[in-house]
Amino acid sequence: MKWQALLALVADEALFSSALLLAGDVSAAQVRLQLSRWVKTGRLLQLRRGLYALAPTWRKLEPHPFLIANQLQRGSYVSLQSALAFYGVIPEHVPTVTSVGPGRPETVRTPLGAFQFNHLAQTLLFGYSRLEIAPRQFAFVASPEKALLDLVHLTPSADSAEYLQELRLQNPAAISLATLDGLAQRSRKPKLTRAARLVRLVLAAEKGDSL
């Protein structure tokens, strides 16, 4: 495959899979060899085996970190601190994109950033949706309520007022307490139902409401 032929196929994509190039009567070995050469010459960035992005000189779309996260570990969704920061619920900038999913825990470092994946049981894989996180780019992202519950679930002793206060929760309009309660009940995890009750008190205190 020639470079211009590759650009004709993927120039409008933020990311692409090598599987896209293996359709039809082609030599898989030759395609992989050519991709490897383009990575070595800096024309392509390899994010994981079989997953690539064009180098900045040639790409039209800047790959959004949430899209990259979804593609790095299939079945995962962005959650925890990254999703909370995305909705403005916590003030911190989160340099590593945090996700949860059915796969094994791992941290993946790529030329486009670092990505942390946490294992979550199949029974807890709900409360997320597919969002347009940048023009023509879509990713699965937890709701703010589920992102908070996922964080509590994965953090020891997080069902305490002290821990929730340390998060410095803000933008209370972004969190539906009814949705939070419903997701906590659906989880059937006492830790999460306790945390949901405490979040209500913490947010009320942030707003200066009487408890």
Predicted local distance difference test score (pLDDT) of residue 207: 65
Residue 133 and residue 41 share a domain: no
Q: Residue 206 pLDDT > 90, yes or no?
A: no
Beta strands across the sheet bearing 97-101: 106-110, 113-119, 97-101, 77-78, 137-142, 128-134
Q: What percent of the chain has pLDDT over 70?
A: 97
Residue 86 and residue 147 share a domain: yes
Q: What is the pLDDT of residues 159-173, one digit of tens each?
A: 999 999 999 999 999
Residue 128 and residue 85 share a domain: yes
Question: How far apart, in whole angstroms, are the C-alpha atoms of residue 122 and residue 111?
Answer: 30
pTM, whole model, 2 decimals?
0.93
Residue 139 and residue 195 share a domain: yes
Residue 128 and residue 28 share a domain: no
Which residues on adjacent β-strands are paired with residue 101?
119
Mean pLDDT, rounded, for 96-113: 97
Which residue range(s) make up the domain with 33?
3-54
Residue 77 and residue 44 share a domain: no
Q: Is residue 137 part of a domain?
A: yes
Rounded to the nearest integer, the mean pLDDT of the chain is: 94
Residue 194 and residue 117 share a domain: yes
Residue 89 and residue 132 share a domain: yes
Least confident of 73-82, 143-152, 166-175, 187-196: 166-175
Q: What is the pLDDT of residues 61-90, one digit of tens each?
A: 999 999 999 999 999 999 999 999 999 999
Question: Where would I find the beta strands (DSSP E) of the chain?
Answer: 16-17, 44-48, 51-54, 77-78, 97-101, 106-110, 113-119, 128-134, 137-142
Radius of gyration of the chain from Cα atoms?
A: 20
Q: Is residue 59 part of a domain?
A: no
Mean pLDDT, rounded, for 41-60: 96
Number of domains the chain contains = 2
Structure tokens at 87: 């909705």
Residue 137 and residue 107 share a domain: yes
Q: Is residue 60 part of a domain?
A: no
Residue 70 and residue 49 share a domain: no
Residue 80 and residue 41 share a domain: no
Predicted local distance difference test score (pLDDT) of residue 147: 98
Q: Is residue 36 part of a domain?
A: yes
Residue 124 and residue 199 share a domain: yes
Which residues on adjacent β-strands are paired with residue 110?
113
